[in-house]
């Protein structure tokens, strides 16, 4: 199992190095995972929000960590490609516990954000978030698996004027990289070319952007230098709209 996890983690790293941007469809169950792989994708992410919706739970750590591990294990086992798992702010787990659960589920990458849902939604300080990511990197190395760590910040999402926190956000993301983050994920700026470009220029690792499968354009993200594209809850939202349209005429 350890050798298999290491091989998948290495594959995920290679894909990040050779695909710019690397598109990782965000899935939430075995069906969506298998569908994405059948469409030709070589790696996936499991999103916390769509996973919660699929299970009738609340986003923002409305499930226990044990429940998330059990649910994602089934999804990961349904495909033969590397899978990264959104683990929100860590479900109150220590970095070592979080890595252990990730590997138990078969995941070889993770998102971790700086909004601490278990503590009233407070924002970690830059040093605190960097220290947590450093702990994740240390635990992954101890396990012998080169886990891909996607360090997320919610600074832009919380700001009334996202441009006003650009300098602080960049400093935070640079600290995450120094701590061991493989990529950084500044949420809620996917429609802002100027902010995306500034972040891309400021950090030496791939920048992750959320994308809607219909309203956004892959060529634009490539032109801006975005290194990694995921969907967050937007792929599931687009499918919800499509299914609603398909079912409408059958209401009778």
Q: pLDDT value at position 2?
A: 78
Q: Which CATH superfamily is domain 2-242 in?
A: Phosphoenolpyruvate-binding domains (3.20.20.60)
- pLDDT for 22 equals 98
Tokens of 171: 């400093």
pLDDT tens column, 114-158:
999 999 999 999 999 999 999 999 999 999 999 999 999 999 999
Nearest to 83 by CA among 99, 104, 107: 107
- 210 vs 185: CA distance, rounded Å: 9
Q: What is the mean pLDDT of residues 220-241?
A: 98
222 is written with which tokens?
């490539």
**What pLDDT is attached to residue 3?**
85
pLDDT band at residue 1, thresholds of 50, 70 and 90?
A: low
pTM exceeding the 0.85 threshold for the entire prediction: yes
- The answer on pLDDT for 11 being more than 70 is yes
């Amino acid at each position: 199992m350890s050798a298999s996890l290491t091989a998948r983690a290495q594959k995920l790293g290679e894909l990040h190095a050779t695909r710019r941007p690397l598109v990782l469809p965000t899935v939430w169950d075995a069906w969506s995972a298998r569908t994405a792989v059948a469409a030709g994708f070589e790696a996936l992410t499991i999103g916390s929000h769509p996973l919660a919706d699929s299970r009738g739970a609340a986003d923002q750590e409305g499930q226990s960590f044990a429940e998330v591990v059990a649910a994602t294990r089934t999804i990961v086992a349904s495909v033969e490609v590397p899978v990264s798992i959104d683990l929100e702010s860590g479900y109150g787990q220590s970095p070592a516990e979080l890595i252990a659960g990730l590997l138990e589920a078969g995941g070889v990458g993770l998102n971790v954000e700086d909004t601490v849902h278990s503590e009233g939604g407070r924002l970690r300080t830059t040093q605190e978030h960097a220290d947590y990511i450093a702990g994740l990197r240390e635990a992954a190395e101890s396990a012998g698996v080169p886990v891909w760590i996607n360090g997320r910040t919610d600074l832009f999402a919380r700001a009334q004027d996202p441009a006003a926190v650009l300098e602080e956000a960049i400093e935070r993301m640079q600290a995450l990289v120094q701590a061991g983050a493989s990529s950084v994920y500044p949420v809620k700026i996917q429609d802002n070319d100027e902010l995306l470009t500034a972040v891309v220029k400021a950090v030496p690792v791939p920048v992750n952007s959320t994308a809607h499968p219909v309203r956004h354009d892959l060529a634009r993200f490539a032109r801006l230098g975005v290194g990694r594209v995921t969907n967050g809850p937007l792929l599931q939202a687009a499918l919800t709209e499509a299914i609603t349209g398909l079912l409408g005429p059958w209401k009778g």
